[in-house]
Structure formats: structure tokens, C-alpha cells
Amino acid sequence: MSGSAGKDRFDTSGFVMRKQDVGDAGATMTVSRAGRRPPFTPEAERIVILGLPGSGRRQLAELVAQRFGMQAATPDDDAAHEVVTELCCRTGLVLAAPVSAVRDEHLRACLRDGARVFYMMTNPVRLAAELGLSGEAGEKFCREALELETLCMGVLHFLLPDGRTPEQLVVNVCENLGVA
């Protein structure tokens, strides 16, 4: 660092700077935890939306399916793992999977390897209050949410931020998939 007029400045003259040629400057490549992925093709893909009960994952799945001309599947929160696993294997589908499904190790592997998985970040304390849960029920909900969120982190490819409208989240999904 060198001083200049009383301010310290970091010397960047030793940084490597080079020009990189690209094949198509307008092309989009999606890079995620799964690495480089081929361009998104709705009829050959499956999208999974994970979120806590009351997070809006069903509405988001319907909107995303509509946007891409795909089918939406929104099983109940207490749907059997076999039902969710079967839905997870279909292509051309947007699945609003119950977040509790990530408790099953086989299903986690199916989600991680066979779909583009989005997790809807949600403040569990706020969500518990919106669901009318207080006291011990609210605390139980929050404990379970933290447990499930940890499992979700192991399968997700993309995070969707809290505090956005479903329409804004559809834009986030499109951006993450590299689709305008």
C-alpha cells in the first residue's frame, strides 16, 4: 500500500489483467452448484420449488409453469415421499415440493441430481406469525424450519430471496435459468 494525500491506496499494478475472447457475447450460461448446465429446455427439464408451509411455493410453481408452458404439481405438505419422488422424475414439470420431503435421503439425491432446485428463503419467525402460530407451536415451527433449511442447502441449486412478490420471484427464476 502506498500513501497518497493521507489516504492509503492498494497497489493493483501486479494484478493479472487480460482480455478474454468469447464466442457469443450475447449468450447466457448458467453456472450453479451443479456446474455448467446446458441451456434450459422446458419440455426436457423439471424445476423444483422448495419452501416452508405458507411461503408461497405453490403460487410460484403455478406462475413458473405458466411462464414456461410446463405443468405444475403442488402436492399437499403431508404427501407421501413416494408421490413426491414419482413427480420429481417427470419432465416438463414444475414441482412445489413439500420441504419436509428433504428428510428422505433418496429423495434428496433425486432432487439434487435430476432437477433444477430453487429454495425460497423465508424468515420462519415472520412466517409462523402469519400462520397464527405462537408460543410452543411457533417455536416448534421455527426449530423444524431451521432443521429443514439445513437439509435444503444440500440439494438446492438456486436461492430465492425473502420479501419479494411471486412475480418478482418468477423473474429471479428466469435469470437463474439463463432465460430472458
Give the per-residue pLDDT at 161.
93
Alpha-carbon distance values, 85 to 18, 52, 102, 160 (Å):
47, 18, 11, 23
Give the per-residue pLDDT at 70.
96
Q: Which domain holds residue 157?
A: 37-177
Give the per-residue pLDDT at 111.
84
Contacts of 151 (CB under 8 A, 6+ apart): 102, 103, 108
Residue 28 lies in a domain: no
How many domains would you assign to the chain? 1
Alpha-carbon span 176 to 25, nearest angstrom: 18
Residue 171 lies in a domain: yes
CATH number at residue 76: 3.40.50.300
Residue 151 lies in a domain: yes
Give the per-residue pLDDT at 141.
94
Give the per-residue pLDDT at 162.
92
Give the per-residue pLDDT at 81.
79
Give the per-residue pLDDT at 143.
94
Residue 116 · residue 48 · CB < 8 Å: yes
Closest CA to 124 of 111, 141, 137, 108: 141
Residue 22 lies in a domain: no
Q: Which residues of the chain have pLDDT under 70?
A: 1-37
pTM: 0.77
Give the per-residue pLDDT at 138.
94
Residue 17 lies in a domain: no
Residue 87 lies in a domain: yes
Give the per-residue pLDDT at 24.
62
Give the per-residue pLDDT at 21.
66
Residue 129 lies in a domain: yes
Give the per-residue pLDDT at 10.
65
Residue 2 lies in a domain: no
